[in-house]
Amino acid sequence: MAALHDHKPAHLVSPLRIALRGQTLLTSPRYNKGTAFPSAERKTFGLEGRLPYRTNTLEEQCERAYGQLESRDLAIRKNTFLQSLKEQNLTLYYALLARHLKELTPIIYTPTEAEAITSYSQLFRRSEGLFLSFPDEHIMEELFLEETRGRDIELIVVTDGEAILGIGDQGVGISTAKSVIYTLIGGMEPAKSLPVVLDVGTDNQNLLNDPLYVGWPKNRVRGEGYDRFVDKFVQLVRKHYPKCLLHFEDFGVTNARRILDRYRDTHAVFNDDIQGTGAVTLACIMSAIRISSLSRASASSPEKKKLSDQRYVIFGAGSAGLGIATQLRDAIISADGLSRQDANRKFWLIDRDGLLHDKLKINGLTARLQELVRPVEENWGEKSVSLLEVVERMRPTVLIGCSTKGGAFTKEVVEAMMCGLDEGAHPIILPLSNPSRLAEATPEDLMHWTKGRALIATGSPFENVKVVVDGKEKEIAECNNALIYPGLGFGAVLSKSRSMTDTMLIAGAKRLAALSPALSTAASDDEYNGAALLPDFVDAPKVNFEVAITVAEQAIREGTASEEWKIEEVRQKASEKVWIPVYPEYIYDEQGIRRFECYVLI
């Protein structure tokens, strides 16, 4: 565990005073150690005779659990086994995941979790979190307090289940995967997080026709009723947990951005689909620009060195595309001092109607999207303008795909991009749609079409590419939100920030970019040698720890933090607070100190 959690020294894992005993202790997922209870604790807590004779280490328990896991042949069966383990022993669950991080994250998160969600009404599993249904709006506060009373909640992940990646509207379902990643990778204490489902119905006809569907079997509430229901929930969070982080997850395109905008100035709120995607993409582009500027091949060319020097074409103008454009635009304003209007002019957004420009009549554009529409003086005519036409005319240096249109970055498009670049320049191409079959291009094709010069990151994992031109192997970075959002969240919680500001997001992105393997190797070799633009996912816990420290420091600098620490104290405070999956020593609380907290089964 040292490699994954060396940012948490063993001496900082404090003993825990608890009042549970006997079978009650063994059935508490939060406190159960199973066969790892040492003999002294077995005697103290009335466990003698309730467990087999031999005491196991956590490492031995992980080995046994992994053996059971491997006997499951399908990913969904592995998911079910891990869910069962989670319901028995939280520490063992997270310890097992941490030891096999890259292998098991796709089992408990994307893509396997999507299958578990679609089967939610057909599977028996222990209920987790809080379900708030529209017909119970009048007793929402009572239900909220019943679930949270006596608990120190630092993170709430809330969903209305309308836009789950790859499967759309699933109505009511599980909302725990994001909370798990916050703990596994971000170090948030699991007992202090709360997953919440806002059940406002579903427009998925298959669910409405399913007699086993466990949610409220009505069409989705829209308009004023929906806004009132969401606002009532948010105000409960602000009233009872004013310093917690409120994470909005899988909200539909008509609600996600406006809900984020409505509350972001009054509470620490976050939307990973918008801000997490934008932040990790910003980090990737920062890394790529820096690599390009260090390369010998481009040293003599007038290659652009700053964010504001780039020309960005974004193919896909939904929540992700708009989130990326907004995050990049805000970073340009912050880092390079451009006005908002001038920064907006660095972007060309393309959706199903083609390039968004003033002469194209498009209904329903939001205010944020409207300001990124290309001005009339560019004279695009009144027709739909294709991706190829935009690339040929505007000569982008950065091409980003979040369209879910597999293969959209054709050889013709990429070669047109190359023709528009300065000699020796590195095109930055990010096909971010996932899963892999929906990627706008494969890294292998991009490398061959650009003669090995492209700087690439993808939204799904791909194998490394050995480029025929120079024989070098290129490591393909996965532009994975989990490399940054757990750290952003932990930083906000650590500092008890009153909001998640744009400058905090940018600070986190800069820190992630600075940890790029490609940047470190290029800096030492004075030439890009094919290393990945972002850290490997296996290093995500350490990476997010660094991101969290940077975010907390920024919150303190700008005065949004409730904690009144000195900047130099933040790293130590983070090391003390971060949660890691190890068994602490138990001390019996004979007087029932913290009794209520101890009896909450997480």
Note the pLDDT tens digit of each residue in 451-463.
Answer: 989 999 999 888 8
Rounded average pLDDT over 173-178: 78
Rounded average pLDDT over 344-355: 93
Note the pLDDT tens digit of each residue in 368-409.
Answer: 788 899 988 888 887 889 999 999 999 999 999 999 899 999
- pLDDT tier, 9 (very low <50, low <70, confident <90, very high otherwise): confident
Query: What distance in Å separates the CA atoms of residue 507 and residue 495, rounded to the nearest whole number?
Result: 14
* pLDDT at 301 > cutoff 70: no
Q: Which pLDDT does position 596 carry in this prediction?
A: 41
Q: Which pLDDT does position 113 carry in this prediction?
A: 78
Q: Which pLDDT does position 594 carry in this prediction?
A: 47
Strand 586-588 relative to strand 347-351: parallel, antiparallel, unpaired? unpaired
Note the pLDDT tens digit of each residue in 249-281.
Answer: 999 988 999 999 999 999 999 999 899 999 999
Strand 398-401 relative to strand 312-315: parallel, antiparallel, unpaired? parallel
Lowest mean pLDDT among 105-119, 128-142, 405-419, 478-492: 105-119
Provide the β-strand partners of residue 457. Answer: 477
Instruction: Determine whether the annotation assigns residue 480 to a binding site.
Output: yes
Rounded average pLDDT over 514-521: 84
Provide the β-strand partners of residue 248. Answer: 158, 271
* pLDDT at 297 > cutoff 80: no
* pLDDT at 602 > cutoff 50: no
Rounded alpha-carbon distances, angstroms, from residue 263 to 162, 233, 330, 372: 20, 12, 19, 23
Is the pTM for the entire model greater than 0.85? yes
* pLDDT at 524 > cutoff 80: no
For the chain, percent of residues with pLDDT exceeding 70: 92
- Residue 198 phi, psi dihedral angles, 5° rounding: -95, 105
* pLDDT at 97 > cutoff 90: yes
Q: Calculate the CA 155 to chain-centre distance.
A: 14
Q: Which pLDDT does position 382 carry in this prediction?
A: 79
Comparing CA positions, the residue from 80, 114, 119, 79 lying closest to residue 210 is: 119
Task: Kindly give, in sequence order, each residue whose CB lies less than 8 Å from that of residue 153, ignoring residues fewer than 6 positions away.
Answer: 192, 193, 194, 241, 244
* pLDDT at 597 > cutoff 50: no
* pLDDT at 114 > cutoff 70: yes
* pLDDT at 125 > cutoff 60: yes
Indicate the burial class of 239 (C-beta count within 10 angstroms; 0-12, 13-18, 19 or more): exposed
Rounded average pLDDT over 213-224: 95
Instruction: Determine whether the annotation assigns residue 250 to a binding site.
Output: yes
Q: Is the peptide bond before 435 cis (omega within 30 degrees of 0)?
A: yes
Q: What residues are annotated to the active site?
A: 109, 178
Q: Which pLDDT does position 370 carry in this prediction?
A: 85
Q: What is the mean pLDDT of the chain?
A: 89
- pLDDT tier, 164 (very low <50, low <70, confident <90, very high otherwise): confident
Q: Which pLDDT does position 216 carry in this prediction?
A: 95
Task: Kindly give, in sequence order, each residue whose CB lies less than 8 Å from that of residue 263, ignoring residues fewer than 6 positions away.
Answer: 234, 246, 269
Rounded average pLDDT over 305-325: 92
SS3 call for 552:
helix
* pLDDT at 171 > cutoff 90: no
Rounded average pLDDT over 155-181: 85
Number of other residues whose CB lies within 10 A of the CB of residue 299: 12
Which two three-digit tokens encode residue 182?
């916050």
Instruction: Determine whether the annotation assigns residue 576 to a binding site.
Output: no
* pLDDT at 4 > cutoff 70: no
